[in-house]
Amino acid sequence: MRFGVVRFPGSCDEVDALHACRRFAEAELLWHGDRDLTGIDAVVVPGGFSYGDYLRVGAIARFSPMMEAVIDFAESGGPVFGICNGFQVLCEAGLLPGALLPNDSLRFVCRQVEVIVEATDTPFTRTCQPGERLSIPVKHTTGRYFAPAGTLPEDQIVLRYAPGQNPNGAMDDIAGVCNAGRNVMGLMPHPEHAVDPLTGSADGGRLFESLAMVPA
Amino acid sequence: MLIRPKAGILDPQGQAVERALPALGFEGVRNVHVGRLIELDVEDAGSLPEMCERLLANPLIEDYEIVEEAAA
């Protein structure tokens, strides 16, 4: 099983994501200007500031050659996992419902939060238990999830911030969602920064471990 | 193109500006919203709505308004 981790100009979490993937499977970096996904079983769109966050977060990255290939990959059922800026890019690409808005505090937040696993019938959470709490850090300025009424079915909410821990004003405490096909997921917390007890929590590894179970 | 946060979506930037104005003595200010202005020259103004829909605005969260000025 082989992960591909996209690197855009302005990405900054792709190396941690690569490291997280390699704890459970093989992994390689994918350059934003390429469009070759040969041999890749799952794509990670990592955090950072792709294309400088110009215009709107994720708006320009969505049109890169690699993202065009990732959109085709997702539409043919391939698993795609967007973290933070990657979540923003997947929303802009129309692969996930909704959008990410500036935090209600207008401040950058960087803290450990607990998220509750709301859905375990996804390739990203299948090693988790329903209602299980995962301790994962958030670090973002534009993480307030919003979906217009009627565009996000309840069963597509995969992760919620634990009560009282919503760091950004996200609608219904939503931390992560998936698409209707359940093969694309985005989340604001950073599981790739929580794969080793040395840094406080290894809970984030559960999501990569789940994905690594994708049949190669 | 004038791009604004959609009505009904929390606009913390607008709220922060609205709170700052009375601190300077400007009273009676309401409904402050902060958006973006994108200026461009274009040969075919007919393509502007599609530009807004596909890239310049995110129609889920933003409204846009096209203001045209003929070339001088």
- State mean pLDDT over B4-24: 93
| B60 touches A at CB < 8 Å | yes
pLDDT at A215: 61
Residue A114: count of CB within 10 angstroms of its CB: 18
pLDDT at A216: 47
Instruction: Measure Cα distances from A81 to A34, A184, B12, B62 in Å.
Output: 19, 6, 29, 26
Domains, chain B, with CATH or none = 2-65 (3.30.1280.10)
Interface test with B, best of A51, A56, A105 (most B CBs within 10 A): A56
The overall pTM is greater than 0.90: yes
pLDDT at B71: 72
| A144 touches B at CB < 8 Å | yes
Backbone angles phi, psi at B65, to 5 degrees: -135, 130
- Choose among B12, B55, B61: nearest Cβ to A104: B12
The string of pLDDT tens digits covering residues B31-41 is 999 999 999 99
| A53 touches B at CB < 8 Å | no
**Which residues in chain A have their CB less than 8 angstroms from residue B56's CB?**
55
**Tokens 């994501």, residue located:** A17
pLDDT at A176: 98
Alpha carbon distance A195, A6 (integer Å): 19
Under-70 pLDDT residues of chain A: 214-216
So which residues of A are the catalytic ones? 84, 190, 192
CB contact under 8 A, A99 and B16: no
The class of domain A2-212 in CATH terms is alpha beta
Alpha carbon distance A11, A28 (integer Å): 15
ipTM: 0.85
DSSP E strands in chain B: the ranges are 2-5, 36-37, 62-65
Extract the tokens encoding A156: 């597509």
**Which residues in chain B have their CB less than 8 angstroms from residue A59's CB?**
55, 58
CB contact under 8 A, A55 and B56: yes
CB contact under 8 A, B61 and A55: no
| B9 touches A at CB < 8 Å | yes
* Closest-approach residue (CA) in chain B for A54: B56
Q: Which of residues 27-46 of B touch A (CB under 8 A)?
A: none
Instruction: Measure Cα distances from A189 to A34, A177, A193, B37, B53 in Å.
Output: 27, 12, 9, 31, 29
Is residue B64's pLDDT more than 50? yes
Dihedral angle at the C-alpha atoms of B20, B26, B27, B32, nearest 10 degrees? -50
Backbone angles phi, psi at A161, to 5 degrees: -65, 140
- Choose among B13, B16, B58: nearest Cβ to A56: B58
| B61 touches A at CB < 8 Å | yes
Give B72's pLDDT tier (boundaries 50, 70, 90): low
